[in-house]
Amino acid sequence: MTNSAIQKPVHSPWAVLITVMVGTLLIGLDRTIVNLGLPGMISDFNITVSSAGWIATAYIISNAVFVPVFGKLGDKLGNRIIYLWSFIGFIAISVFAGLAWNLSSMIFFRALQGLVGAAIYPTAMALIAKTFTNPQQRTQALGLWSASFAISAVLGPLIGGPLIDSFSWRWLFYINLPIGIIGIFMTLLYLPHDKPVDRKSGFDYKGASALAVALTSLVLVLEKGNDWGWLSFNSVSMYVLVAVFAIIFYFIEKKAKDPIVDLKLFSNPIFSNILLLSFITFGGMMGAMFLLPVFAQTYLGFNATQTGLLFIPMALSMFVAAPLGGYLSRKIPLRYLVSLGMTISAFGIFLFSGLDVKTTAIDLIIPLMVFALGMGLGMAPMTSAATNSVPVNEVGVSSALLNLVRNIAGAVGIAFFSTVLSNIIESKVLQLGQDAVINTTNPQVIQTVSALIVLKAQVIAYGDVFIIAACIMSTGIFVALFLKQPK
């Protein structure tokens, strides 16, 4: 391979974007698509539902822990080399995960997948930021890349359903091999050899270790808190570990010569504001995207494939809106454009408040498209502003922080809305039960009425949850108004 072939992205930055989007989509899909295969794994491994939950948890924990580590390593060693070898590792481990023979082996391979997959997001974002020197083009590119990041979270059922129906759950992992080989060749051809920022200073192992314990504890309680009970001994223990090691991490980073996370980033008003907005946006999005497939399959009778098809118009809407947001960022001040995007997204979420058993596919598709339109408009200028507001030598770390916040927000959103849904259902069942009058002692009639009360309570609860989600998303409208334009 010639040097000119490797340096091609200098002349064609869009090739870099397409290349890293392949990796971003693949890693993002793998996080959600595997959940569809859990019933098959439960049957093949002869395990309980509770035990199967650790397959997803192992991936999420290792991914969250190593995102900031690889963000720093990308800045120190070069983002291309970290991206390439992580991508190769992810593809190889995917094959082993497809060959898993019991629960322990599957948890082990999923943890390794999360570890190597953690490098893709921060290095991809840093490569885009360094390749696109034109500010307007960078905004559009980061918007499209962010759209692929978000879309990957909702396309799992579309791809996973047919794979499981036609083959088995193991193909959820095997499918990564042909796509991954294409992605590896594109990486070798199109990604530029970026220069490391600093090879001499040591790595902040103490800070990384303290952060790892804090993040592991946080993700663990978010994933398992609903099962354990939020005030149980296990949950409280996790809260204590999060608090203690977060404080330890803070003091380590204050004294470190080359910290894994530069705390000065949080004193940057633009960057810290974008972190807050990303938390609000992705918390609302992941919570909503988690509940919608459940509602469609439980109460509307959709299968996994049909549910996945609902999200195609949403994906298209986001891919159209992302470059549009980049274009409008030249015409409209950042604060107003992001606030407009948050307004549209909140309205899209609010449209789901009318869900009932008569809801049709089009009743779900239209709100999803409205929501995606708002996300796309606001995401491009937000992501671009995040990279433009920090020094070039901290793009990797800042992108790692941004993606870490998005991941944590997703876990918080799912945990929060799942808990709220359960509480509202319980409350509605009691309320409807008190208001119901049954003028018969026939046990079959009483049983039928009781079932209908529970069903009505569940359907009403979903609508109430989406109203709460819309209100939370609406807070982002006002937070965005405090955004400043990066110089």
pLDDT band at 45 (very low <50, low <70, confident <90, very high): very high
Cβ-Cβ contacts under 8 Å for 487 (sequence gap 6 or more): 388
- Nearest Cα neighbor of 363 from 371, 373, 355 is 355
Segment 304-357, tens digit of pLDDT: 677 778 878 888 888 888 888 888 888 889 899 999 999 999 999 999 988 888
For 267, what's the count of Cα atoms within 13 Å in the CB-facing half-sphere?
A: 3
Alpha helices in 7-134 (DSSP H): 13-33, 38-45, 49-77, 79-98, 103-117, 120-131
Distance from CA of residue 207 to its chain's centroid?
A: 24
Question: Does residue 6 surpass a pLDDT of 60?
Answer: no
SS3 208: helix
pLDDT band at 433 (very low <50, low <70, confident <90, very high): low
Question: Does residue 257 surpass a pLDDT of 90?
Answer: no
- What are the phi and psi torsion angles at 485 (to 5°)? -75, 125
Average of pLDDT values for 49-63?
A: 82
Boundaries of every domain in the chain:
1-203, 264-487
Superfamily of domain 1-203: MFS general substrate transporter like domains (1.20.1250.20)
CA distance 22 to 150: 13
The pLDDT value recorded for residue 8 is: 43
Place of tokens 């490391």: 196
The pLDDT value recorded for residue 107 is: 92
- Nearest Cα neighbor of 327 from 162, 177, 140 is 140
The pLDDT value recorded for residue 438 is: 63
Segment 391-409, tens digit of pLDDT: 777 777 888 888 888 888 8
Question: Does residue 77 surpass a pLDDT of 60?
Answer: yes
264-487 has the same fold as 1-203:
yes
Note whether 172 and 159 are within 8 A (CB).
no
CA distance 199 to 73: 10
Q: Which tokens is 126 given?
A: 């840093």
The pLDDT value recorded for residue 144 is: 80
Query: Is the pTM value of this prediction over 0.75?
Result: yes
Question: Does residue 300 surpass a pLDDT of 50?
Answer: yes
pLDDT band at 134 (very low <50, low <70, confident <90, very high): confident
For the domain made up of 264-487, give the CATH fold: Growth Hormone; Chain: A; (1.20.1250)
